[in-house]
Structure 1
Amino acid sequence: MNESPTAVLVIGSGLKLYREYLLSSAAERARDAGHAVVLVNNLQPTWQRAYVDEVRVVNVFDHALLAEAAREVATRYRVVAVLCWDEPLVMPAAELAEEFGVPGLSTPGVHGCRDKVSARTRLTRAGVLQPMFEMAADLEHARAAAARIGFPVVVKPRALGASMGVVLARTDAELTSAFQVASDASLVGDEPFRGGAIVEEYAVGPEISIDGAIHKGEYQPMFVARKCTGEHPYFEETGHVVDSADPLLSDPVLLETLSRAHEVLGVEDGITHTEVRLTDRGPLIIEINGRVGGDLIPYLGKLATGIDPGRVMVDVALGVRPDVTRPTRGVAGIRFGYPDDDCVVHAVRVPQEAPGLVLASPMVEPGAVLRLPPGGYIARHSFVICEGQDAAECEARLQAASDLVVLEADEVERKPVGAVLEMPAGLLDVDA
């Protein structure tokens, strides 16, 4: 019998502003179950110390070093669960869960989530509604694919998140720059997925996301977010609204599509964030991510529904069927502040009070350079979060609170297509 103390292993903490609420809830649930919490992190801990029992600091983006650190932890603890909510780390985290013999997405599942070509191929073969698509190695191939599919097309990297490098092309001329933008953006991702781009049919319809829990292959939706985008022809996500009474939570066609898609990809245990277009042909899955949503969507879900995603995540990772009943009925939303042009920030001031305001925060420090696509992505200077009695009231309050944000900045020259992409602050595991 193994008498070693037990531990929940957390891979990467993320930013305090975006992820503290998850780590605090997950740590509380793990300790309630009698387990220590061990964090493997990219930087020395600051705020994280309040929630974890031990930290191993290592370059987590070197997956060999990450695995070595996790295995060292496993010599002193019996690892009973592996948690990860950071997009670049979901694949090694799933592989470690499999190695330690604890519940996880499964290797086929995480590859299906991370590799958009694999996901498209497998879902199409299984008869799950998908856009026509083709992986193009070069511009000539992309042009041939677009001719077969028909304009407009969406061009995207194979394995990035946050809509980075995703571009709408309406003509052959637009395709030329779109392919370069998508291919160049892919170079900041995992090495196996660098270069080239996916060319796919543009699916018309509102876009939503669904965070769901999967336990032994059973899919349970937690909350739906209605998405707002901007910076077209790019797809920057400018805001989300979560309604606990959203009728899509009980839509049989959507739920069957989600359940079937996860089954096809081999997702067994975990939390996923699925993006869907509501087309006239039915719900069309854009992608499935092997983690909770970004953009504070899980926090909105917690406010609106009462479901605590950090606790659900631990339950699933421990092999316990989670309770995803919604004890709260409400609506919560977020709106991000973007500059009109590339700029260097001097100051950001956010409102302290406004109708329905829950939280408002700057997202950058003075001196930060914000670059809009294609020179950069997620060029956000602030966010506001509001609650309302219904979606319309929430949207109105978000607009009113956003109007109170003040940005002091000087415009800088935009980068040309083909310039080195500047990674957005907040995507990687960096913190003060």
Structure 2
Amino acid sequence: VLVVGSGTQEYREYRLRSAALRADLWLLDTAAPTWQSPHLAGATEVDPTDLNALTRAARAVADQRKVLGVFCYDEALILPAAQVAEALGLPGPSVTAVRNCRDKHRTRALLRDVGLPQPRFALVADLAEAAAAAEWIGYPVVVKPRGLGASRGVALVRSADDLAGLFADARAAHYPGVPTYRAGILVEEYLEGPEISVDGVVHEGRYTPMFLARKEVGLFPYFEETGHMVSAGDPLLTDPSLRWVLAATHRALRVDDAVTHTEVRLTTRGFVVIEVNGRLGGDLIPYLGSLATGIDPGLAAADVAVRARPGLDAVRARTTGIRFLYPPEHCRVDEVAVPEPGAVPGLLRAVALAGPGDELRLPPLDYLQRYAYVLCEADTPAECAARLDAAAERVHLVGRPLPADPGAQVAS
């Protein structure tokens, strides 16, 4: 099975480790493997954003070995991965399906067209169009980049006075390898309600959820994801209305064979799909799911890559959660100290994500600028939340404030 891109060890190695139990993996990535090596049968150095080069590299592997499928979990690379699979006649989500997920405007329009609840929305190219759209929709509205993920550039606009600055922030947000559009910003009605995400599998057109995460967000007016909690016994996971919405959504987006991460808001209109990502979730959500339920998302993704039916029976019933820690202001890190596992009841992992000299800048200057995370397990969501609070208090950040202007100097 070809693996397109590998990401960072801290967030991605568990996926490779599991997938390697199911098939020989051949990595196509920009650099020679290091931490990835124990999980690989081989690797080719290639720029995975260069479709022609990526396709040539994939064909070269296929000339020497029997290639059964393509496996990708990087949002910026799922489209070239699907294009390679299509070029080699391999299973996986179609290029059309991936585009329907990657392009948030296409997602909105397709779901609206089949009658699924959607916020009022408009696609805009400039501030004047955004102002007209916001007046039509009615404040508050959400501005979001059309092609990004992980809530980059997404902001809540409470009034016309806030629109110009937050619209500029949304337009400035970027991520290497993702497409840009002339009309690149969505203006949407803001819908109140908690948000969840569901990682699921589509096999031969049939959607099955694996696990559900309750999301925490912060740093408003931006929507930075500050935590997630997965409970094997979450009643929403068996809610027939949610299951119907998820299945109907994947049919509308023409997703036939894939692992997906769907974000849903619980509103007075019912379940409203925010977006569908054509890959496993980030932020270690699938890892939380495996700890809570025993379902292995890496194995499931490897099965789907070769069009085999994955095993999705839960064998564990726990609650797991993760809390991401952000600095209170822009800062240069001197030290991050984290507790050892077990220092707090239920603490499984506490990881420093920043080290001495790292500069962390909060939105809108940058996104996902976390200095640490803590990951806990418990019998119940309430107990897990209390353990996350206790573990977070044991993490210590020492740093110096940075000016809001990245070009300004800071005293040593």
TM over 0.5: yes
The answer on whether the counterparts of 1:337 and 1:383 sit within 8 Å (CA) in structure 2 is yes
CA distance in 2, matches of 1:194, 1:139: 13
Letter in 1 for 2:296: D
Which deviations, in whole Å up to 9, do the C-alpha atoms of 1:266-296 show, x marking residues without a partner?
Answer: 0010100000000011000000000100000
Give matches, 1:189-200, under 5 Å.
190-193=178-181, 196-200=184-188
How far off its partner does 1:115 sit?
0.3
For 1:156-175, list aligned pairs within 5 A. Answer: 156-175=144-163
Match of 1:149, as an amino acid? I
Identify which of 108, 111, 115 aligns with 2:103: 115
Alignment of structure 1 residues 224-373 onto 2, 5 Å: 224-352=212-340, 353-373=343-363
Asked if 1 retains the 8 angstrom alpha-carbon contact of 2:76 and 2:176, the reply is no
1:27 maps to which residue? 20
CA offset digits 1:30-78 (Å, max 9, x no partner): 1xxxxx3200112221111101011111222333322222222222222
User: Could you tell me which amino acid in structure 1 is paired with residue 21 of structure 2?
Assistant: E
1:239 Cα deviation (Å)? 0.3
The letter for the 2-side match of 1:44 is A
Give the deviation of 1:365 after TM superposition: 2.4
The aligned counterpart of 1:127 is 115
Structure 1 position 195, deviation (Å): 5.9
Asked if the contact 1:154–1:168 (Cα under 8 Å) also holds between the matched residues in 2, the reply is: yes
In the alignment, is residue 155 of structure 1 matched against residue 155 of structure 2? no
SS at match of 1:401: helix
Per-residue CA distance 1:336-367 (angstroms, 9 max, x = gap): 11000011111111110211011111112211
Alignment deviations for residues 217-272 of structure 1 (CA, whole Å, 9 cap, x no partner): 10000000000000000000000000000011110111000000000100010100
Shift of 1:298: 0.4
**Cα distance in 1 for residues equivalent to 2:17 and 2:175:** 34
CA spacing shift, 1:384–1:121, aligned 2, 3 Å: same
Match of 2:386 in 1: 396
Whole-Å Cα distance in 2 between the matches of residues 251 and 102 of structure 1?
34
Ranges in structure 1 where 5+ consecutive residues have no aligned partner: 1-7, 31-35, 420-432
When structure 1 is superposed on structure 2, of 156-165 and 186-195 the one drifting more is: 186-195
Instruction: Please point out which of 39, 51, 58 is paired with 1:51.
Output: 39
Corresponding residue for residue 72 of structure 1: 60
Q: What's the CA shift string for 1:174-222, capped at 9, x where partnerless? A: 1111111111114755344366311001011000000000001100000
CA contact (8 A) 1:183 1:195 kept: no
Could you say what the CA RMSD is over the residues aligned between the two structures, in angstroms?
A: 1.3
1:312-338: CA deviations, max 9, x gaps? 111111111112111100000000110
The answer to whether structure 1 residue 220 and structure 2 residue 213 are counterparts is no
- Secondary structure of the residue that 1:79 maps to in structure 2? coil
Match of 2:368 among 355, 360, 378: 378
The 2-side partners of 1:297 and 1:72 are apart by: 34
- Report percent identity of matched pairs: 50
Query: 1:194/1:311 Cα in 2 relative to 1: closer, same or farther (>3 Å)?
Result: farther
CA gap 1:37/1:189 in 2 versus in 1, 3 angstroms: closer
TM-score normalized with structure 1 length: 0.92
TM-score (norm 2): 0.96
The size of the alignment, in residue pairs, is: 405
Deviates further, 174-183 or 256-265 = 174-183
Matched-pair contact (CA < 8 Å) for 1:184–1:195: no
Partner of residue 9 from structure 2, selected from 16, 27, 31: 16
Matches for 1:197-212 after TM superposition, within 5 Å: 197-212=185-200
The amino acid across from 2:22 in the alignment is R
The question of whether the paired residues in 1 share the 8 Å contact of 2:141 and 2:188 is answered with yes
Structure 1 residues 236, 187: CA separation in 2 closer, same or farther (over 3 Å shift)?
closer
Aligned residue number for residue 103 of structure 1: 91
Amino acid at match of 1:362: A
Asked if 1 retains the 8 angstrom alpha-carbon contact of 2:260 and 2:279, the reply is yes
Q: Partners in 2 of 1:81 and 1:360 — Cα distance? A: 35
Distance 1:18 1:186 in 2: 20
State the alpha-carbon separation in 2 of the partners of residues 290 and 408 from structure 1: 38
Q: Distance in 2 between matches of 1:260 and 1:246?
A: 21
Q: Compute the displacement of 1:415 (Å).
A: 3.6
1:198 to 1:29, Cα distance in 2 relative to 1, 3 A: same
**Quick one: distance in 2 between partners of 1:59 and 1:316?**
25
CA contact (8 A) 2:147 2:184 kept: no
Q: For residues 107-145 of structure 1, what are the alpha-carbon distances to aligned partners after superposition, in whole Å with 9 as ceiling and x for unaligned? A: 221011100001101110111111111110000000010
How far apart are the structure 1 equivalents of 2:357 and 2:54? 33
Report which stretch shifted further, 104-113 or 396-405.
Answer: 104-113
* Equivalent-residue separation in structure 1 for 2:355 and 2:52 (angstroms): 33
Q: Secondary structure at the match of 2:307?
A: coil
Q: State the match for 2:410 in structure 1.
A: none
**What is the aligned partner in structure 2 of residue 86 from structure 1?**
74
1:153 CA drift (Å): 0.3
The alignment partner of 1:144 has SS state of: helix
